[in-house]
């Protein structure tokens, strides 16, 4: 994989945000808020950190694997998969349409390259990633398994069963990330179900925790992912706390749960796109 400069990654991220907004707007359905908030993470992962092959094979032998647990933010994943070469950008025109491979939540039955599990039923992605990481260990595969979760998702009990399991069995080829934007569909996490101190919780479960405090700054995200990789394979699973802002990149969307699952109007789309340079060409 050709390494890219921070400036190049930022340019890609701007296009990814445009893709997300245009997909959701076209069908007036989808989840733009956290997609925009996680754009730096996805861009850094797929264009700088992840060792992957766009000649997609489900088993992923010799490759790093990524699982999206909070599958409702599919727009940002579809964009980076397309922009990195898994399928044509024009296919983003089919997002959430009947018989599309780009369903509202990622699915496997349509055979979209890059997707290994159906996701969106919150709480399950960490368990799947642990299983994949253990399988790689059994196979003698030195690759790394990544998984992204939402912070509201930490309210699911299965997360904590999986967290115990990963530490007990020393699944140290696993790097999990929580999108810590402090928002969920109905409001702030502190009001819905206070997460309190996720660092202390995961550390008490036997994990190594790495904070990426500026989750919407590309340089910080790249450095944070590199730090997480350096902490892996030392006997403990690794967790990134990715501090982001929902809706980042668009001034009227940033920092509020109100854009969790709401599509922009024609006028709002025009305003949003005016704030985001077109760098790779709209599909």
**Burial degree of 3 (CB within 10 A; 0-12, 13-18, 19+):** exposed
Q: Is the pTM of this model over 0.85?
A: yes
CB-side exposure of 143: number of CA atoms within 13 Å? Answer: 22
For the chain, the structural domain boundaries read: 6-274
pLDDT by position in tens, the chain (length 283): 678 999 999 999 999 999 999 999 999 999 999 999 999 999 999 999 999 999 999 999 999 999 999 999 999 999 999 999 999 999 999 999 999 999 999 999 999 999 999 999 999 999 999 999 999 999 999 999 999 999 999 999 999 999 999 999 999 999 999 999 999 999 999 999 999 999 999 999 999 999 999 999 999 999 999 999 999 999 999 999 999 999 999 999 999 999 999 999 999 999 999 999 999 999 9
Q: How far apart are CA 115 and CA 107, in angstroms?
A: 7
Helix axes 6-27, 266-274, angle to 10 degrees: 170
pLDDT value of residue 1: 64
Quote the pLDDT of residue 243.
Answer: 98
Query: Chain-centre distance of CA 1, in angstroms?
Result: 19
DSSP SS3 for 257 = helix
Domain 6-274 grouped into CATH 3.40.50.970: yes
């Amino acid at each position: 994989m050709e390494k890219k400069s921070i400036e190049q990654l930022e340019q890609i991220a701007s296009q990814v945000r445009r893709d997300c907004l245009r997909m959701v707007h076209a069908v007036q359905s989808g989840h733009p808020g956290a997609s925009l908030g996680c754009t730096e993470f996805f861009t850094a992962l797929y264009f700088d950190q992840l060792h992957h092959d766009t000649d997609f094979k489900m088993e992923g032998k010799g490759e790093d694997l990524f699982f999206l647990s909070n599958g409702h933010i599919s727009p940002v994943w579809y964009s980076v998969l397309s922009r990195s070469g898994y399928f044509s950008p024009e296919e983003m025109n089919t997002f959430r349409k009947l018989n599309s491979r780009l369903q509202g939540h990622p699915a496997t039955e349509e055979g979209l390259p890059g997707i290994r599990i159906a996701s969106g039923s919150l709480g399950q992605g960490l368990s799947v990633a642990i299983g994949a990481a253990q399988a790689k260990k059994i196979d003698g595969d030195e690759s790394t398994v990544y998984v992204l979760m939402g912070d509201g998702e930490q309210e699911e009990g299965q997360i904590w069963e999986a967290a115990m399991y990963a530490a007990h069995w020393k699944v140290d080829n696993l790097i999990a990330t929580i999108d810590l934007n402090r928002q969920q569909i109905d409001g702030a996490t502190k009001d819905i179900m206070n997460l309190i101190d996720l660092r202390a919780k995961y550390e008490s479960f036997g994990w190594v925790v790495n904070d990426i405090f500026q989750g919407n700054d590309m340089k910080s995200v790249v450095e944070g992912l590199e730090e997480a990789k350096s902490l892996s394979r030392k006997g403990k699973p690794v967790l990134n706390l990715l501090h982001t802002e929902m809706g980042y990149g668009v001034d009227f969307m940033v920092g509020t749960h109100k854009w969790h699952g709401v599509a922009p109007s024609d006028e709002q789309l025009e305003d949003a796109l005016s704030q985001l340079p077109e760098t790779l060409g709209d599909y």
